[in-house]
């Protein structure tokens, strides 16, 4: 959890501000994952802070939704071309890619559980 919060701080993901009058907040919670190595032993523990977006109401809290997703047929085509042309292939995982996009609208989220700023419990992210 500390790694996740440190990453948020390093990218200045949010500011703690008073909740705007008439606005609602989105809750959040921690999701924990145990990563197991090829040998079957625990490799590491991961924690991700996720927003409770399912509490929003369409056209009240948000308008459109969009998620960048590649079709499997596009991936298969790319891999086929790479094999035919003998291109080297590499895998890349950007674990915090969502941190690199600017939102068009203001979103208020509750402070993360266990990481509420001391003396500022009424502020939102």
Average pLDDT, the chain: 82
pLDDT level of residue 24 (50, 70, 90 thresholds): confident
Q: What percent of the chain has pLDDT over 90?
A: 22
Flag whether pLDDT at 120 surpasses 90: no
- The domain in which residue 29 lies consists of 2-124
Separation CA 20–CA 124 (nearest Å)? 9
Separation CA 26–CA 59 (nearest Å)? 15
Residue among 69, 52, 38, 68 nearest 107 (CA): 52
**In terms of pTM, does the model score above 0.75?**
no
Separation CA 125–CA 122 (nearest Å)? 10
- Provide the number of structural domains found in the chain: 1
Flag whether pLDDT at 40 surpasses 70: yes
């Amino acid at each position: 959890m500390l790694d996740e919060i440190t990453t948020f701080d390093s990218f200045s993901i949010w500011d703690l501000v008073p909740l705007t009058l008439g606005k609602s907040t989105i809750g959040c919670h921690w999701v924990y994952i145990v990563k197991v190595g090829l040998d079957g032993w625990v490799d590491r523990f991961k924690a991700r802070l996720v927003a409770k977006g399912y509490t929003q109401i369409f056209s009240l809290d948000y308008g459109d939704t969009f998620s960048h997703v590649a079709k499997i047929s596009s991936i298969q085509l790319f891999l086929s071309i790479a094999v035919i042309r003998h291109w080297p292939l590499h895998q890349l995982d950007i674990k915090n890619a969502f941190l690199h996009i600017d939102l068009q609208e203001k979103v208020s989220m509750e402070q993360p559980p266990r990481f509420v700023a001391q003396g500022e419990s009424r502020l939102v992210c």
